Structure 1
Amino acid sequence: MGSHPHHLIVQLQETTTVFYQRYFNNFVMTNETSDYAVTHTGSWSPADKLMEDCWPGTSLKFSTFDRDNDDNEDNCAAIYGAGFWFQSENCTVCNPNGDVYPSLTSRLGIESENFWTPTLGDWNPRAVGIFLVRQ
């Protein structure tokens, strides 16, 4: 990805015709040496608040099972079964890289599943797409 700014686009599919989207402007990710910290200049969504509460800040470092960079006393990536830019307090209110169960319409209540609270509550997405588009 380099140092070029991108737009990060996050999409959730509720049904075959209903999607939720959020765009992050001037999204830049650092390299491995800096633990893939990210910055962006703001975000917007056409019709909803998707991921507004999931990613409240910038300069968060990416955490994985073997690289715990979230400044939480626990390894958030190990708890939630996926890597993400977790927050230091309470890890996260969203797990966009978690397991998706497309046949279900509501959450199972397990930590490794894909969830988007408080924005979508107990709703379970049918599909998730995360895209980078170079500016």
Structure 2
Amino acid sequence: MENGIYYAISLEGQKTGFYADQRENRQFISSISEGQKVLDICCYSGGFALNAACGGAANVIGVDTSLPALELAKENILLNNLDPGRISFVREDATKFMKVAASRGELWDLVILDPPKLAPRRKVLKYAPMDYSMQNDACSI
């Protein structure tokens, strides 16, 4: 439990996907979400999305490509007795999701982007700027 919110986490895969150094940021999201329409890109198991919902957001959508992570996120909705009509999770590539959303003119009051590490090992460091550029393009849509 963190900030009054219960979390199911997995000890397999991307570590837990739930980093302690983001605790204050998750709490901050809770404090500014009341009545807001919130989008959480790269939501993994829903830490920021859950804080937004518990903070009174009118609507929250979490987007991630990991099916196991999204299953945890959906379990976290139930753990916290949240209304699934106000918080939902979608399995989709962030870039594709944003392009479709932009083409439909969708808008959010608050957008959270907490992508996974672009260079988890020194070996792939040279590719990180290209990956960052592609993610940055998706964010600027």
TM-score where L is the length of structure 1: 0.25
Relative to total residues, which structure has the larger helix share, 1 or 2? 2
Relative to total residues, which structure has the larger strand share, 1 or 2? 1
TM-score where L is the length of structure 2: 0.24
